[in-house]
Structure 1
């Protein structure tokens, strides 16, 4: 018996020519901070990092609760397997939401339960609940989260890119998965970390499942400087710039009759006047993220990009309108 592989769909590079302007990525177009980048480039590539990452874990928080991961995707897969081995049987995932939550559960035979709002979450077996705050692909945020009878893991990859509003309080006992590379504009460095609420059975399983040297030297350098005051100040300035770029891009798309959803981040959902716009823009060297894989046919996810990219997008859209008139 053969099984059809479960393959995730992502934005970013595809197998076509490189896009001149990429509105599909939700990473910051402003990174990385110069001092952090210099540290990454100085990373010692001739020696293994400490396989237990003791100094790094102390720098990131309570060393007994910090778990280095090879980015968010590896963290999602490993924590899902750890939860299964610790007795969890259901996985609740945001809908729409990042597809890897469901794919990781399906690959292990766990029951996948989608939810649109916290009130939808009603576990019938020991469960994991994934929260993406703010959520990908919507950029939306839940005002308040109740206590949940489950292992709650909060994916905070986009928290540093929150352009408005404050982060809501999370359910008591929630884990956190932190992936700085998007906010730093260094998505090619696969490095992140989870923070457990307690050194429990899930923690023990996740620790034992980690591959040797899960982080490269570059990943260690990036995470070592993630919490530096200089890095955080740079990110605050980047958010101010992104607010201006987001407002300008939204206004431009509105003038061209795109419907746009509200968002707290530098990315948001939009509906073009016609469903073929994503393909026609790609033919012109501009990429947007088709949201069909999120179950949102006819929608795209776009991210705020610099003024030169916005001008190119506007020109391409005007050309498409001209062809259709």
Structure 2
């Protein structure tokens, strides 16, 4: 399906209002940072430019992924990478983009800004059929696990997609922001397929450091020398701040990864508690493999909007899924037991029920 042009994409997190006490609207890891990372960031030298080529960083990231260093392209987070990759596709003559629907709004926004025709794919079968019928290569955005749904696509889909994409010359871009936060199952994308796609990695969600805009792209093996270097040339000088470079240097380290493994276990326990709570409140919930998922409170969409404003005034924020094309639904992220208790308390508050005219 073709998508209508959209306004500036909506996001969770700060919205210009009062401080958020309990933020269910972002997918960031809510657990405290590991001490080694805190110390590394505190010791960052902000008086000097980082290495403009990020040589040591690229070597370290390449060693982890088992790829040559020239395939690693630093970015100012995934949103910046989305803009730059879309520009590169446009400059290479691609005129269409396929984006998940529902999906992260920056994919479509970047394509619209450059005049690409944007199509939404609501289901894997829809995408496979459309790409197989296509007469020209297209830019194809995917994330695994998916945002905002938290689901993981089956291995059979990825196999079929790879066969069609290579035959038709489509550009596959895999957004891997939430793979480090996978709580169930295994990554369904095989290394051979990943090597032929563009991959976006941005660990700030998994680390709970969304204020640091830093990530990197792994260029496809066959495109690394040509298109990969052109993508590098499209970046501004010092695309990473000193803090961003330090975060990425620490990311795959043993101490940080051990902390991340522990945090996944905690998040899995908290997620179970939170899903039980929402079930007790009468909310419908979709399955997920991540710490976030889609839920539907027992309210008409028009009253849900009011309730979300009331929650916001009480210091709690949930992500209204209307901008994803899902009115009446919210995306919620796993939060601490204290935050969950605060949500239940405000949800049950009789003041809100009276204004809605019906119990909830």
Common topology (TM > 0.5): yes
Query: Larger deviation: 132-141 or 119-128?
Result: 119-128
State the 1:204 CA deviation.
2.7
Match of 1:88 in 2: 94
Instruction: State yes or no: 1:157 paired with 2:177.
Output: yes
Counterpart CA distance in 1 for 2:251 and 2:268 is 22
* Corresponding residue to 2:245 among 202, 205, 220: 220
TM-score (norm 2): 0.86
1:176-195 alignment, distance < 5 Å = 176-195=199-218
State the 1:184 CA deviation.
0.3
State the 1:127 CA deviation.
1.1
Match of 1:272 in 2: 297
Counterpart CA distance in 2 for 1:32 and 1:86 is 41
SS at match of 1:278: helix
State the 1:205 CA deviation.
2.2
Instruction: State yes or no: 1:43 paired with 2:52.
Output: no
Match of 2:145 in 1: 134
Counterpart CA distance in 1 for 2:225 and 2:7 is 30
Counterpart CA distance in 2 for 1:200 and 1:79 is 15
Task: Deviation per CA, 1:51-96: give whole Å up to 9, x if none.
Answer: 0111100100121100000011001000110111122221111111
Match of 2:65 in 1: none
Counterpart CA distance in 1 for 2:95 and 2:233 is 20
Query: Larger deviation: 7-16 or 165-174?
Result: 165-174
**Structure 1 segments of 4 or more deviating over 6 A?**
none
Contact kept, 8 Å, 1:87 with 1:126, in 2: the verdict is no
State the 1:128 CA deviation.
1.2
TM-score (norm 1): 0.95
* Corresponding residue to 1:205 among 225, 230, 237: 230
- What number of residue pairs does the alignment pair up? 322
* Corresponding residue to 1:111 among 114, 117, 139: 117
Match of 1:285 in 2: 315
CA RMSD of aligned residues (A): 1.5
Counterpart CA distance in 1 for 2:149 and 2:279 is 17
Greater per-residue helix proportion: 2
Query: Larger deviation: 82-91 or 177-186?
Result: 82-91
State the 1:114 CA deviation.
1.1
SS at match of 1:39: helix
Task: Deviation per CA, 1:148-182: give whole Å up to 9, x if none.
Answer: 23111100001111111111125461121000000
Contact kept, 8 Å, 1:289 with 1:302, in 2: the verdict is yes
State the 1:200 CA deviation.
4.9
